[in-house]
Structure 1
Amino acid sequence: MKKVNVLISGSGSLYGVAIIQSLLRSELPLKLVACDVSARTLGLYLAHQAYIVPPAHQEELYLTSLFNIIAKENIHAIFVASSHELAFYSHNKLDIEKKTGAKVFTNFPETLNLCNDKWLTVNFLKENNFYFPLTIRYPEDQDQLNEFIKDVQFPIVIKPRGGAGSQGLYIVNQYEDLHPLLENKKDIILQQYLPDDCGEFTTGICTGANGRILSGITLKRYLQEGMTMSADSGDFTEITDYCKRVAQVLKPYGPSNFQLRLLSGKPYIFEINPRFSSSTGMRSLLGVNEAEILIRAEILGEAINQNKILKCSVIRQYIDYLVPTDKIVMLQLPPD
């Protein structure tokens, strides 16, 4: 089997470290190459080779640096682990693949925009007859506000159309608290509150070319400030199969995660993230190594048989790593 050279971009993120650690556990012959904008990010020192790159918003400089790394390391696959770089790779995906032959595991702008905009996400679910939380825009639909409140009742969720995690999210329990939160606001949505008495779930679906489903796993997650800090793997086959059906219509490429809660026993998706997620490492520990699956299916052309998923709980705890200072200094030096 040939050695596969993998570039992990934005390697210092939580996702980046999880991808690298997952691939280090793989039995595949891999060379892991990490890049990041800062020398003080852990992923650079876990991989086999490391590079400092410009910020992705400096597009021409970044692209030049990227092409140099791909050529020097003979890169076969690129995993994007920084949310700040997703748009860059999405817009340049075809160009990078055509010029280098490296496979870029990210989505085209249409899919990325649909998932990044929660209003577009809701409409996608609605138009394709999936369950969705009732939602209106603000200020565009403010004339519907009273009718919306009558339909869904309090509590009501207010959140930005874009963004991730809990930033800018409010749960409003009474009418008096609503208007101060709406004053002078734009690009937000008001959404039906989905009860959490059954908990909250995250489903990871891995897809190959043409929306081919490669793997799926659902975890019941326990949150702290919008981040999954613990998760249970259980008998959630119905939820996983439902999200697979959604993915077959959406046809994302690579890793995606679906955030949902149950309403009357039915899975209501309220967020789709078409990228690696904070639970990537948890899934790998439980038997679903998404990065390895993508390499096997899309680079090596292997048939994928889903591994048995461990029925277990995972608890996230941050730990400290020692890194020789001279390694950091060396990475900070300008290239020859």
Structure 2
Amino acid sequence: MTTAIAAAPVTVVVTGVGAIIGQGIVRSLRACGMPVRVVGVDRNADSMGAFLCDAFYPKPDCDEQDDGYLAYWRKLVAAESARLVIPGIEIDVEYLADHRAAFAAMGATLCLNTDALIALGQDKWALAQALEQAGGELARLAIPGTLDGDWAPCIARLGPPPLLLKPRHGNAGRGIVRLHDEVDFRYWRAKSGPGFMVQRIVGSDDEEYTVGAFGLGDGDMLAPLVLRRRLSAAGNTGYAEVVQDAAIERATRALCAQFMPLGPTNYQFRREGDRLFLLEINPRFSSSTSLRTAFGYNEAAMSLACYVHGRRPAEAVLKPGRAWRYSEDFVSHDRHPL
């Protein structure tokens, strides 16, 4: 009789485990059905997310451009024999993308999208311009906007207020304000600095959608999961409902064919009448990661298949349903989790 040998666990480093995205990635790894050892990283040494991990490394108190920060990563990757590094916050996406060669030399694979889409996802104005330049159905997804620094040209181009002022660079609704008149505009223009844009408000809070679609890097993708959602006060998904929407899936596939994402990619839409508008593309894991896993769309498992094992991930078997986010206490009577 032969005895089956259990596969050695793959060590995966997840950053930002003190925040909702990082914690969602960790929970999704635990549910992936493969042997995984999870190493958490966070700026906060007392992060609750450390309790979810098998090992935890607080980030050093130094600038991320210092050589000491890269040395920290070399030591961590070597000590843990890390195979895959997954960024859970946007600043880590940027850092890892800037240091691809260094991590390759360490022997660690980075769960990152393409440099082109990472750059485009960081600039909402550039994304809108790219949609308009693509033409056809993609151009119709672009929200009317302007970079004009004066109120009169804004309303001449976009119509009567209220309008939205938002930073070109940012996520989770940070820095977005409603402009009801020129007084608002002048105040928030001064507070926001030069990197802002003004857009027409499209759709309603009841017609907002977040879509998870794992890109394969060549314009193809796995079938998406579409969630109708409502935002929480923190700017992330507070309520989600699985929906079947042929128009949103068609738009998502068109965006994928145009921008050729690789790995977890999040598309956010609003509907106004019979027209869809693209709010943004996040070329990374999103705050809805754990919700998607609960509905059968486990992007962490897909990432292991794609980045570590070099194979096309299996199509998800989706479950219908709704989800709500709520707060609860986490209590430990031990001083340190690990």
Asked if Structure 1 and Structure 2 have the same fold, meaning a TM-score greater than 0.5 normalized by the shorter chain, the answer is: yes
Residues in 1 aligned to 2:166 and 2:317: alpha-carbon distance in whole angstroms = 37
1:60 lines up with 2:70 in the alignment: no
Q: Residues 325 and 121 (structure 1 numbering): CA distance in 2 closer, same or farther, change over 3 Å?
A: same
Q: Tell me how far 1:288 sits from its aligned partner.
A: 0.3
8 Å CA contact 2:209, 2:270 repeated in 1? yes
1:181 lines up with 2:188 in the alignment: yes
Q: Residues 124 and 307 (structure 1 numbering): CA distance in 2 closer, same or farther, change over 3 Å?
A: same
Q: Residue in 2 aligned with 1:334?
A: none
1:205 lines up with 2:206 in the alignment: no
Q: Which moved more, 1:124-133 or 1:300-309?
A: 300-309
Residues in 2 aligned to 1:209 and 1:298: alpha-carbon distance in whole angstroms = 12
1:133 lines up with 2:143 in the alignment: yes
Q: Tell me how far 1:312 sits from its aligned partner.
A: 0.4
Q: Residues 7 and 89 (structure 1 numbering): CA distance in 2 closer, same or farther, change over 3 Å?
A: same
What is the percent sequence identity of the aligned residues?
A: 23
Q: Could you report, residue by residue, the CA deviation over 1:61-90 in whole angstroms, capped at 9, with x for unpaired residues?
A: 221111112112221111001223222111
Q: Could you report, residue by residue, the CA deviation over 1:71-125 in whole angstroms, capped at 9, with x for unpaired residues?
A: 122211110012232221110023212x023210124554323211111111111
Q: Tell me how far 1:138 sits from its aligned partner.
A: 3.6
1:264 lines up with 2:273 in the alignment: yes
Q: Residue in 2 aligned with 1:96?
A: 103
Q: Residue in 2 aligned with 1:9?
A: 15
Q: Tell me how far 1:236 sits from its aligned partner.
A: 2.3
Residue of structure 2 aligned with 1:327, choices 301, 317, 336: 336
8 Å CA contact 1:33, 1:50 repeated in 2? yes
Q: Tell me how far 1:242 sits from its aligned partner.
A: 1.5
Q: Tell me how far 1:215 sits from its aligned partner.
A: 4.6
Q: Which moved more, 1:193-202 or 1:225-234?
A: 193-202
Q: Which runs of 5+ in 2 are unaligned?
A: 1-6
8 Å CA contact 1:215, 1:288 repeated in 2? no
Residues in 2 aligned to 1:109 and 1:257: alpha-carbon distance in whole angstroms = 16
CA RMSD of aligned residues (A): 2.3
Q: Tell me how far 1:306 sits from its aligned partner.
A: 1.7
Q: Tell me how far 1:279 sits from its aligned partner.
A: 0.7
Q: Residues 146 and 307 (structure 1 numbering): CA distance in 2 closer, same or farther, change over 3 Å?
A: closer
Residues in 1 aligned to 2:178 and 2:313: alpha-carbon distance in whole angstroms = 42
Residues in 2 aligned to 1:24 and 1:76: alpha-carbon distance in whole angstroms = 16
Q: Residue in 1 aligned with 2:203?
A: 195
Q: Residues 112 and 59 (structure 1 numbering): CA distance in 2 closer, same or farther, change over 3 Å?
A: farther
1:220 lines up with 2:244 in the alignment: no
Residue of structure 2 aligned with 1:281, choices 280, 283, 290: 290
Q: Residues 13 and 221 (structure 1 numbering): CA distance in 2 closer, same or farther, change over 3 Å?
A: same
Q: Tell me how far 1:234 sits from its aligned partner.
A: 1.4
Q: Secondary structure at the match of 2:211?
A: strand
TM-score by structure 1 length?
A: 0.88
8 Å CA contact 2:241, 2:322 repeated in 1? yes
Q: Which runs of 5+ in 1 are unaligned?
A: 332-336
Q: Residues 249 and 101 (structure 1 numbering): CA distance in 2 closer, same or farther, change over 3 Å?
A: farther
| Aligned length in residues | 325
1:43 alignment partner AA? G
Q: Residues 312 and 84 (structure 1 numbering): CA distance in 2 closer, same or farther, change over 3 Å?
A: same
Residues in 2 aligned to 1:309 and 1:46: alpha-carbon distance in whole angstroms = 25
Residues in 2 aligned to 1:238 and 1:308: alpha-carbon distance in whole angstroms = 20
8 Å CA contact 2:205, 2:230 repeated in 1? no
Residues in 2 aligned to 1:240 and 1:323: alpha-carbon distance in whole angstroms = 43
Q: Residue in 1 aligned with 2:4?
A: none
Q: Tell me how far 1:183 sits from its aligned partner.
A: 4.6
Residues in 1 aligned to 2:98 and 2:268: alpha-carbon distance in whole angstroms = 25
Q: Could you report, residue by residue, the CA deviation over 1:224-262 in whole angstroms, capped at 9, with x for unpaired residues?
A: 222211111011243133113212322233222111101
TM-score by structure 2 length?
A: 0.88
Q: Tell me how far 1:32 sits from its aligned partner.
A: 1.1
